[in-house]
Amino acid sequence: MARNRRKPDDTLPLSGGPAKGKIANAKSDQMAEDSSRSLSVRRNVTNEPGETYPLKLTWHQRDSLIHCTRIKNKLKVRLQELGEGTHIIGVTRKELDHLNDEVGQASVYAPHPDKKRLVAVLHKVAELFASDRVELLGSGTPKIRKTAPTKGKLLYQFKITLLEINPAIWRRIQVPDCSLCDLHEYIQAAFGWWDYHLHQFEIDGERYSEPGPDDDAFGMEFKDETNVLLSKLVPKSGRPSWWIYEYDFGDSWRHEVLFEGFPSAEPKAKYPLCVEGERACPQEDCGGPWGYAEYLAAIADPQHEQHQEMRQWRGPFDSEAFDAMKATKAMRRLR
């Protein structure tokens, strides 16, 4: 079910290393690994400097944190000093953010049962973030409601983060109630993908996608995303929830989709809206996260054996470039 929208006319065919990387890095086994996602939550904390958050951890969870993550040595020592059993450790806002970042990355690669323990820690971190959340990062970001408003326009806010890429590539978007198919297109536009490969959502153990004209989904079973509304999927309480969105089953670009709540609609604002984000979308067909790393290394080093080939393949590329206004315009062209 190849898609043909928004593909540039001057695109050159894939060759050399990226083509090999695309084949080598196909990761179909990850489609069933909902627990392997990297979780990430951010907030502005209302606590005074120096105040701590009570993080309750079992001995096994602390052991996995010590041996499977790159958390700072000072924090590791404090965890080791607690001894066996379940204990509550006080962590500062900075330490909570640090745990969120480091454990989120480690949970993608950790073996079982460490993976399960790290995911449990991340959910505890998320609960602390959500317990007294006032607003999300960014001084201009609208306040987030914990419950759906009873009057006025209902908006949904998501932070979408591309997994297995460091530093992170992400977008924060606000959209009205719509189908998962619409959300797929908004994500494509906000990131800058071309939308001509297969995709799927993984939500609460179910897979959703757009049915093909010949019902060919490579033997995978999907629910039809075209008639599934956001309002039927997100918690009405506004609590954070996580989905996985995968684009291009060959390159396997997996995204964490974090529902952050119901933002207050601005009277004169138009929606959908890309509020903020960081870094450019990877080049299509570059071989997934590993192929992208090789591509960046090649274009950055004039002495690299594939430097000229990669430069000619897609031309100049700035991996740090991102413009929220351009992303918003791309999202609105879909309406």
Query: What digits encode the pLDDT tens for the residues 9-57?
Result: 444 444 444 433 443 343 333 333 433 343 434 444 444 455 788 999 9
Total domains, the chain: 2
90 and 223 share one domain: no
Q: Please give the backbone phi and psi of residue 160, each rounded to the nearest 5 degrees, phi first.
A: -110, 120
What is the structure's pLDDT at 41?
A: 40
Amino acid at 321: A
318 and 187 share one domain: yes
Cα separation, 190 vs 327, whole angstroms:
5
Confidence at 304, pLDDT banded by 50, 70, 90 = very high
166 and 195 share one domain: yes
Q: Is the pLDDT of residue 142 over 50?
A: no
Q: Is the pLDDT of residue 290 over 70?
A: yes
224 and 150 share one domain: yes
Cα separation, 258 vs 190, whole angstroms:
15
Tokens encoding 270: 């138009």
Q: Would residue 9 count as lying in a domain?
A: no
Dihedral (C-alpha) 55, 59, 62, 68: value to the nearest 10 degrees? -150
Give the residue from 135, 23, 133, 114 showing the smallest Cα distance to 66.
Answer: 114
Q: Would residue 44 count as lying in a domain?
A: no
What is the structure's pLDDT at 156?
A: 97
Q: Who has greater pLDDT, 134 or 72?
A: 72
Q: Would residue 206 count as lying in a domain?
A: yes
What is the structure's pLDDT at 308?
A: 94
Q: Would residue 233 count as lying in a domain?
A: yes
Q: Would residue 167 count as lying in a domain?
A: yes
pTM of this prediction? 0.63
Confidence at 112, pLDDT banded by 50, 70, 90 = confident
E-only strand ranges, the chain: 53-57, 87-91, 144-145, 155-162, 169-176, 199-203, 206-209, 223-224, 241-247, 253-263, 273-278
Tokens encoding 31: 């489609």
Give one word for 198, left, alpha or beta, with left for phi > 0 and alpha for psi -120 to 50. Answer: beta
Q: How many CA atoms lie within 13 A of 216 on its CB side?
A: 4
Provide the β-strand partners of residue 8: none
Q: Would residue 157 count as lying in a domain?
A: yes
Q: Would residue 47 count as lying in a domain?
A: no
Q: Is the pLDDT of residue 213 over 70?
A: no
Give the residue from 107, 213, 220, 205 showing the smallest Cα distance to 164.
Answer: 107
Cα separation, 148 vs 330, whole angstroms:
27
Q: Are 220 and 120 in contact, with CB atoms under 8 Å apart?
A: no
122 and 193 share one domain: no
Q: Is the pLDDT of residue 173 over 50?
A: yes
Q: Would residue 42 count as lying in a domain?
A: no
Q: What is the CATH number of the domain that holds 148?
A: 3.10.290.30
Give the residue from 267, 269, 293 showing the smallest Cα distance to 282.
Answer: 293
24 and 80 share one domain: no
Boundaries of domain holding 158 = 16-37+138-332
What is the structure's pLDDT at 278?
A: 96
Dihedral (C-alpha) 117, 87, 258, 287: value to the nearest 10 degrees? -40
What is the structure's pLDDT at 279?
A: 97
Cα separation, 252 vs 254, whole angstroms:
6
